[in-house]
Amino acid sequence: MITIHHLGVSQSDRVVWLMEELGLPYDLKWYHRKANRLMPEDYFALHPAATAPVIEDDGRVLTESAVVLEHICHTHANGRFTVSPDQPTYSDYLYWMHFNNNALGLYFAYLALGANPAGETAPLVKELLHRRWSGYYAMLEQTLGDHDHLAGDDFTCADMMVVYNFGNILASGGKTLADLPNTKAYFQRIGARPAYRKAMQIAGPEATPPE
Ligand SMILES: N[C@@H](CCC(=O)N[C@@H](CS)C(=O)NCC(=O)O)C(=O)O
C-alpha cells in the first residue's frame, strides 16, 4: 500500500486528493510543521531533497508532486488522469503539469519582496511579478474559457497540480477570483468534486490534524 508522508498545510494534499479520486487505499502519516512553519526534522530523514510530498511505494521513496502523481496513475491506475503523447491535448497537459515551477518561483519572489519592500531590487521584482502574472492570468482565463479543465475537457493530474497553487497565484499576482470569471467557475467545478472535498477534509489546509 502507498504511504503518503503528509506535511500539514502543504503540497502533499494533492496526493491525498489523487488517491481519493482513484479510490485507492493509502496510509497517511501526518507531520506537523514547526512553530516557524518549516518542516520537522523527522521529515528530513525521508528523502535527501526534504520537500513535501514524499511517498513510499513498494520500497521506493519518491518526491516532487508531478512525479508522484504520474507515478501513481501509471503504476496503479493504467494511466488514468494522465494524457499520452498521441492525444491532442498532450502539450497542454505538459504545460500545466509544469506550471508549478512558475507559480512557486513567483511566490517566493513575492515573499522576498514582502520581507524587503524598500530594497534596491524591489521595483524590478514588482515589475516582474506584474508582467509575469498578467500573462499567466490571461493564459488561465483563455484556457478555461475554451475548456472545462486545464488539459481539455477531461479532469487530469494537471488540474490536481495547479489547483493547489491558486492561493499563491492570487496572493502574489494581486488578483481575486472575482477578477477572473473563467477561473472562478473552474474553481467552483473543482470544489464540487466529492474526492476533492473529502481530501481537503482529511489533509487540506483547514483539516484538523491528528494529535
Ligand atoms: N516542486 C516541489 C515543491 C515542494 C515544496 O516546496 N514543498 C514545500 C511544502 S508546500 C515544503 O517542503 N516546505 C517545507 C520546508 O521547506 O520546510 C513539489 O512540487 O513537490
Q: Can you tell me which atom of ligand 1 is nearest the CA of 10? A: 10
101: left (phi over 0), alpha (psi -120 to 50) or beta: alpha
For each of the domains in the chain, give its residue range(s) and CATH number, in order of start: 2-82 (3.40.30.10), 90-193 (1.20.1050.10)
pLDDT value at position 171?
Answer: 87
pLDDT value at position 46?
Answer: 96
Rounded distance from Cα 52 to ligand 1 centre (Å) = 5
pLDDT value at position 167?
Answer: 83
Nearest residue CA, atom 19 of ligand 1?
A: 65
Task: List ligand 1's pocket residues with C-beta within 6 A.
Answer: 7, 10-11, 38-39, 51-53, 64-65, 100
pLDDT value at position 114?
Answer: 93
Helix residue ranges, H only, the chain: 13-22, 41-44, 65-76, 90-97, 99-115, 122-146, 157-164, 166-173, 181-191, 194-203
Which of 4, 10, 32 to probe ligand 1 with, by most ligand atoms within 8 A of CB? 10
Rounded distance from Cα 88 to ligand 1 centre (Å) = 31
Mean pLDDT split into 10-residue runs, the chain, 211 residues: 96 97 98 95 94 97 98 98 98 97 92 93 94 95 97 98 90 91 97 98 92 74
